[in-house]
């Protein structure tokens, strides 16, 4: 993504989160999921950007069941 190179890193991260939500909505129900490791990386990035606890946790519904 060009945004990750030309935008502020936190803006690129928010765009990624928005894209994740949009991807989940456009796929058949339950087709798009994150692994627990991927979600953990999102949490660490959110923490590094000093986002509040709910910015990333709002996307926990994307973690595959059993992960």
Q: pLDDT: is 3 or 55 the higher one?
A: 55
Give pLDDT, residue 12. 86
Q: What is the arithmetic mean of pLDDT over 34-58?
A: 91
User: From CA 15, how far away is CA 25, in angstroms rounded?
Assistant: 15
Q: What is the mean pLDDT of the chain?
A: 81
| pLDDT value at 37 more than 60 | yes
Q: pLDDT: is 53 or 24 the higher one?
A: 53
Give pLDDT, residue 56. 92
Measured at the alpha carbon of residue 9, what is the angle toward residues 3 and 15, in degrees to the nearest 5? Answer: 55
């Amino acid at each position: 993504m060009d945004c990750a190179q030309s935008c502020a890193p936190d803006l690129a991260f928010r765009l990624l989160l928005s894209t994740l939500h949009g991807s989940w909505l456009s796929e058949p129900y339950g087709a798009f999921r994150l692994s627990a490791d991927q979600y953990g990386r999102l949490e660490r990035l959110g923490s590094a950007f000093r986002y509040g606890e709910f910015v990333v946790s709002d996307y926990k519904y994307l973690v595959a069941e059993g992960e």
